[in-house]
Amino acid sequence: MAALVSIDRLRFLLNQLHERLWVRPLAVCLLSIAAVFIAKLADGTALIKWVPHISIDSVESLLSIMASSMLVIATFSVTSMLSAYNSASNSATPRAFRLMVADDVSQNALSTFVGAFIFSVVAIAALKNSFFDKAGLFILFALTVFVFGLVITVFVRWVDRIARLGRLGSTIEKVELAAAAALERRRIFPTLCGIPTSVDASQGHPVFANEIGYVQHIDMSAIQEWADKMNVHVEVAALPGTFAAPNRVLAYVHQLSAKAQEQDHCIAKAFQIGRERLFVDDPRFGLVVLSEIAGRALSPGINDPGTAINIIGALVRLIALWNKPLTDAEQQQAKIIFPRVAVPELTMRDLYDDAFTAIARDGAGTLEVSIRLQKGLQSLSLLGSAANREAAVYHSQRAFTRAEQALLHADDVQIIKDSIKPT
């Protein structure tokens, strides 16, 4: 199977690398070392006749200042980032940790500081051994000034970001953006470029999971290639976000031959299973995390209904995004690429359950949260399909029933009842 070379698989792997703190600093360190040796190439060119003479002592002084300070700043940046990560986990939810680690500004800052330190050390060693002539020394001086200016710019920008990173509002924004990206992609490709589920799964041959964890990614290209080779059709039964176990069916194979049955383990390999749910291919996970943040804010120990109200606004925006009609350009993208693989679509009821059930339960006794929830659900009931309206009305009724039982004053119940009426 060509699982490792498929575009979708590559996208998933690159996203995983993006969440690793060591990848970008390592790349910048290698680039820094290469920059020092690239400066040497100028010595063999006509540039030596035109560049001014640069004192070795001046270049060495700049490099020494940078070398002595960058390691301290890099250590300080790591400490500040860890503090921000802990703050995000404590104030919002530990599930947002991956989004904090993947913050581009913080990763770029750490990479710049470490890269500048490596550049300085390697350049000083080259200078001490008379590695450069006149042209190479000038290029090294120019690179040193550039790196020095880059460090200052990145540091100022990073200080502004680290002051916000880990704050509850920043965490909510990052989760909303991650959820929106996943929902947008699934909105355009509701069946992951496969065909909609239409066959009876009970008549197919079940393929079970051989690991325990959450389905993180499905390599549709690998399944399609295997199905073409075996002349079968495959129906996916476990979307990303599903908890898999040895007794959990991942997919059903139809028109199965004896040869295909012997190799059905190839289907299980196409399902990436890990210990945690991921945002990138799991639109429902973003809704769950936002709802979890709201639930923590509504706990008696924190009692922050304002955060829950902000979360309701974010959830309304996300559900509205899901109900947004496809544009002509998006319809051109939404093509069936894997005709032998059937994939079920996400249901509106599941999305609403993930988004609003916990808030309706935990915020039932808080008047302002209940009112905002009803207004949000009422707005959503005016969008999209009949399934969306049905889900919105259903959750509105459930939320009102919970609030009616939790609120002690009849006037509060009446206020919520009035907010349900169309304005």
212-243 tens-digit pLDDT: 999 999 999 999 999 998 888 999 999 999 99
Number of residues in the chain: 423
Confidence of residue 360 (pLDDT cuts 50, 70, 90): very high
Tokens representing residue 319 in the block: 């559900």
Q: Check whether 262 has a pLDDT greater than 80.
A: no
> In which element (H, E) is residue 134 found?
helix 134-162
**Averaged pLDDT for residues 81-94:** 79
**Averaged pLDDT for residues 312-327:** 94
Residue 166 zone, left/alpha/beta (φ > 0; ψ -120 to 50; rest): left
Residue 235 zone, left/alpha/beta (φ > 0; ψ -120 to 50; rest): beta
The more confidently predicted of residues 261 and 355 is 355
pLDDT tens digits, 77-87: 888 888 877 87
**Averaged pLDDT for residues 256-265:** 72
The more confidently predicted of residues 236 and 412 is 236
Q: For tokens 């139809």, what's the residue?
A: 254
Confidence of residue 6 (pLDDT cuts 50, 70, 90): low
**Beta partners for residue 272, in sequence order:** 217
Confidence of residue 351 (pLDDT cuts 50, 70, 90): very high
Q: Check whether 69 has a pLDDT greater than 80.
A: yes
Q: What do you get for the CA distance between the two ends of the chain, in Å? A: 57
Burial class (CB in 10 A: 0-12, 13-18, 19+), 366: buried
Task: Give the separation between CA 363 and CA 295, rounded to whole angstroms.
Answer: 8
pLDDT at residue number 219: 92
Q: What are phi and psi of 250, to 5 degrees?
A: -90, -35
**Averaged pLDDT for residues 271-287:** 93
Taking a C-beta distance cutoff of 8 angstroms, is the pair 350, 303 a contact?
A: no
pLDDT at residue number 77: 84
Q: Which of 77-91, 169-183, 333-347 has the lowest mean pLDDT?
A: 77-91
Angstrom CA distances, 243 to 106, 207, 248, 290, 315, stand at 32, 15, 8, 20, 24
Q: Check whether 345 has a pLDDT greater than 90.
A: yes
Taking a C-beta distance cutoff of 8 angstroms, is the pair 318, 287 a contact?
A: yes
Which one of 26-40, 159-173, 251-265 scores highest in mean pLDDT?
26-40
**Averaged pLDDT for residues 136-163:** 87
Task: Give the separation between CA 246 and CA 156, rounded to whole angstroms.
Answer: 51
pLDDT tens digits, 368-386: 999 999 999 999 999 878 9
Round the average pLDDT of the chain to a whole number and report it. 87
Taking a C-beta distance cutoff of 8 angstroms, is the pair 295, 356 a contact?
A: no
Q: Check whether 3 has a pLDDT greater than 60.
A: no
pLDDT at residue number 103: 79
The more confidently predicted of residues 21 and 292 is 292
pLDDT at residue number 244: 94
Q: Check whether 162 has a pLDDT greater than 70.
A: yes
Task: Give the separation between CA 222 and CA 258, rounded to whole angstroms.
Answer: 20
What percent of the chain stands above pLDDT 90? 46
Q: Check whether 37 has a pLDDT greater than 80.
A: yes
Confidence of residue 423 (pLDDT cuts 50, 70, 90): very low
Report the candidate in 187, 96, 124 with the shortest Cα–Cα distance to residue 388.
187
Give this prediction's pTM. 0.84
pLDDT at residue number 170: 87
Q: What are phi and psi of 210, to 5 degrees?
A: -110, 10
Q: Check whether 1 has a pLDDT greater than 70.
A: no
